[in-house]
Amino acid sequence: MAILEIKKYPDPILRKKCEEVKEVTEEIKNLIEDMIEFVRKTPNAAGLAAPQIGVLKRIIVVETKEGPKAFINPKIVKKTKETEFDWEGCFSIPGVFLKIKRWKGIEVEALNKEGEKVKIKAVGLAARIFQDEIDHLDGILIIDRIGFWQKLKLKI
């Protein structure tokens, strides 16, 4: 496994929009394996997005019931009307935990690591993880999802 370096806020790469993956090459597959291994071996890891390790590709890894899985070019195609606030943290902003509003349920379309189209429904914590990791692909951090008064209290 390659040693992955987590990019920390305010690293400018965390604010960039990622490129779509046009082809699932061996290089992409190796990157995915490294990301999966990182999530598998890191305590309390629920997900990881490629820009968090300095790669501007639309790839995320999400912890599922079957273990960590990769999703390439993920898009939220459906979402519930119901939302909820809950606590979130981020590898790229260590030590900061914020209450973030997210949709309770979503449906995501993506490619798997073999390049096959997949569709997944996620609710609760799983939906929250997908939304957070997909946000990273568009340069959005949890600090962008909080209200004005919460921002005043932050010291990052």
Distance CA 82, CA 90 (A): 24
Give me the mean pLDDT over the 42-55 stretch: 96
The per-residue pLDDT for 76 is 98
- Is residue 8 pLDDT above 80, yes or no? yes
8 A C-beta contact, residue 77 and residue 107: yes
pLDDT band (50, 70, 90) for residue 30: very high
pLDDT of residue 154: 74
Q: Pick the catalytic residue: 5, 33, 114, 133? A: 133
Contact by Cβ (8 Å): 37, 45: no
pTM exceeds 0.85, yes or no: yes
Domain extents in the chain:
12-84+103-140
CATH number for the segment(s) 12-84+103-140: 3.90.45.10
Is 133 annotated as catalytic? yes
pLDDT at 147: 78
Task: Quote the pLDDT of residue 87.
Answer: 95
**Can you list the positions of beta strands (E) in the chain?**
47-49, 59-64, 67-79, 83-89, 97-103, 105-111, 117-123
Nearest CA to 55 among 77, 72, 41, 67?
A: 72
Measure Cα distances from 113 to 21, 39, 68 in Å: 11, 15, 12
pLDDT tens readout for residues 86-113: 999 999 999 999 999 999 999 999 999 9
